[in-house]
Structure 1
Amino acid sequence: MRAGFPFLLTFQTGLVALLGLTVAGTTAASDIDKEKRWAEQLQDQLVVGEPVRLTAEQQDFFALYTPAVGKLQRGGVILLHGLGAHPDWPDVISPLRKNLPDTGWSTLSIQLPIRPNEADFADYPPLFPEANVRISAAIRYLQKQGLHNIALVGHSLGAAMGAYFLAQKAPDSEAVRAFVGIGMGHAPGTVAHTPDALAKMTLPVLDLYGTQDLRGVLGSSKARAASQVDNTGYRQLAITGADHFFRGLETTLVKRVSSWLNHALSDVKNNADTS
């Protein structure tokens, strides 16, 4: 199943009224056992990057850190995956994680809170505060690596969580210099409604999606742009022929994200120690 499939169905059918609800008996906490299984599988097959354990509110979580290649150190990118996925998910996240370092950007792809396999998107809004503390921990990790030119890059649900983190001015959010939201949709009346979150941002924003994206992503593009009308650092870019997962256009995805980051943060010098 593709990451975020229940979320995508919600986008496509318009059943946004479900998004603010939780299934009876569920709790606002990640499925830690599932996270551990993901982490074990990823460590066994890892070729690029290194596994790290971060801590947020006394709970460890898994991440993959891939340092920039060569002497060029532009900064650090925190990658936020889609619904029900992991830090090396093959769609969108893995191509960015492995290839952005070749352009001078170190990547830290973190495990966001997840629910059991049978859960749908209605179970995810209560996890947004937990995502906030994990993103904060990721920022502090990059800073400890000497990386202070930091960007958030999220896909689908991960983009919604990243936007929420910035809109809420969560701890350490002031350290984020730019935001890339890939395949952002809409969910009115919930914490996942990205136009509302975008309206509270003033930092550089890249709103990236495909011309063959989901109806909810395409249909909310004007609302997203309108929410950023006063932000001169906002850019909306539709990639011709791309679907929600950029299948077959992974190289284009990496080029667009890296070139925008290079331009948007060109006047911000990363002070990593490269000596």
Structure 2
Amino acid sequence: MEARAELAPPPATILAGMSNRVRHRLSTLLCALALALEAMAAEPTAGTEAAAAQPPAAVAAAPAAPDLAELALQLAAERRLLQVEGEEFPVFVKTSTAKPARGALLLLPGDGEYPTASPAIEQLRQLLPAQGWSTWLISLESPPRSHSGPLVPDPDPQASAAPAQPDPDAQQRIEELRKWAKRCEARIARAVSAASAEGALVLVAENSAAALLTGFVGAQPAAVKAAIVIDPVDFPGLASEWPDDLAVPVLELLDPVTQHEEGAQRRAQADAAGLDRYRQIMTSIGPWEPGDNETLLAKRVRGWLRSLDQHSRPVPVSAPAAD
């Protein structure tokens, strides 16, 4: 059993830098190795000690490499280049594997993430093609480095009544965010044009990318039939409220483990404005591992999309949300 005791897990810093797929594969391999060493230790033969003395890294590293190579080949096969304003940017396309094809989801990961980095976006990208939806993952620029939420704290009632002076740094951050949003919206519009042959299009944006859609859903291109935002993040200077009249149905998905004061405000605003094309649901977002055939998030999205086929408008916002 001494050989098993020497088998220590990788440092947390190394695990944090790995993708979910690699962490899952490494954990599986380490468990299998520990069981093998335990079985060998139970048989006190001359060959047991020699086998247990073999470096575990040589055994664990070999099976992981083909998976990474397979992922690289898969992304290379899915990669397409689009161009806007003289600049190329990649999209990653997975075609529908079910008949009849129902359309395409245009996926916008938050914070300019690597194509497979977001559990929420990745599970939709992998699972929805089997339900008749092609997926187009659009690469976006990372937003400028700035804090979301209010630019300045609420004024102290005991402070001087003198009018507050404009903050030049804050104004610069707002201007940088607006320029970033304009560039990202140009990419989205180009992808919408390229994917229009797929049929009905649904925009799906996560975190910071969701800030790009609050104004966009007021006047969508004809091909865009709906929009979904996942755990949206507000940015100063960018619209965080829905327009008074939504051009398309909108689903907002919030993870219950996170505080969502802004989400409650958007819900109240939608109620007050009578936006019956808007629905907000609390639902678990992750985690997800490659090979999972169903997740709660994918089920929620698929069910809502099906409701759009059955009704001209989705369930009103005042209806109780499902768990």
**TM-score above 0.5:** yes
CA contact under 8 A between 1:74 and 1:104: conserved in structure 2? yes
Q: In 2 relative to 1, CA 42–97 (structure 1 residues): closer, same or farther, beyond 3 Å?
A: farther
Partner of 1:133: 186
RMSD over aligned Cα atoms = 2.9
Distance (Å, rounded) in 2 between the aligned partners of 1:252 and 1:147: 26
Partner of 1:233: 277
Match for 1:254 among 279, 295, 298?
298
CA contact under 8 A between 1:153 and 1:179: conserved in structure 2? yes
Partner of 2:204: 153
SS at match of 1:53: strand
Query: What is the count of residue pairs matched by the alignment?
Result: 213
Match for 2:237 among 178, 190, 194?
190
SS at match of 2:89: strand
Shift of 1:101: 0.6
Distance (Å, rounded) in 1 between the aligned partners of 2:120 and 2:243: 21
Point out where structure 2 has 5 or more consecutive residues left out of the alignment.
Answer: 1-15, 18-67, 148-172, 313-323
Distance (Å, rounded) in 1 between the aligned partners of 2:90 and 2:69: 10
Where does structure 1 differ by over 6 angstroms across 4 or more consecutive aligned residues? 41-44
What's the TM-score, normalizing by structure 1? 0.68
Question: For residue 263 of structure 1, what is the amino acid of its counterpart?
Answer: S
Q: In 2 relative to 1, CA 139–43 (structure 1 residues): closer, same or farther, beyond 3 Å?
A: farther
Question: For residue 156 of structure 1, what is the amino acid of its counterpart?
Answer: N
Q: In 2 relative to 1, CA 266–65 (structure 1 residues): closer, same or farther, beyond 3 Å?
A: farther
CA contact under 8 A between 1:178 and 1:203: conserved in structure 2? yes
Distance (Å, rounded) in 1 between the aligned partners of 2:182 and 2:195: 21
Shift of 1:66: 0.6
SS at match of 1:180: strand
Equivalent residue runs for 1:53-72 within 5 Å = 53-72=81-100
Match for 1:50 among 78, 92, 95?
78
Equivalent residue runs for 1:18-167 within 5 Å = 45-47=72-74, 50-114=78-142, 119-121=145-147, 122=173, 124-143=177-196, 146-167=197-218
Distance (Å, rounded) in 1 between the aligned partners of 2:245 and 2:135: 26
Q: In 2 relative to 1, CA 47–198 (structure 1 residues): closer, same or farther, beyond 3 Å?
A: farther
Which string of whole-angstrom CA distances, capped at 9 and with x for unpartnered residues, describes residues 44-98 of structure 1? 7143661110111121101101111132211111001101313332321111111
SS at match of 1:139: helix
SS at match of 1:246: coil
Match for 1:219 among 230, 251, 261?
261
SS at match of 1:247: coil
Partner of 1:33: none
Q: In 2 relative to 1, CA 223–42 (structure 1 residues): closer, same or farther, beyond 3 Å?
A: farther
Structure with greater Cα Rg: 2
Distance (Å, rounded) in 1 between the aligned partners of 2:133 and 2:298: 11
Query: Which one has the bigger helix percentage?
Result: 2
Shift of 1:190: 1.5
Question: For residue 223 of structure 1, what is the amino acid of its counterpart?
Answer: Q
Which string of whole-angstrom CA distances, capped at 9 and with x for unpartnered residues, describes residues 203-255 of structure 1? 21111111112x2xx1122221133232222111001xx3xx53259811111
Distance (Å, rounded) in 2 between the aligned partners of 1:112 and 1:197: 22
Q: In 2 relative to 1, CA 142–156 (structure 1 residues): closer, same or farther, beyond 3 Å?
A: same
Q: In 2 relative to 1, CA 238–115 (structure 1 residues): closer, same or farther, beyond 3 Å?
A: closer
What's the TM-score, normalizing by structure 2? 0.59
Partner of 1:177: 225
How high is the sequence identity, in percent, across the aligned residues?
A: 25
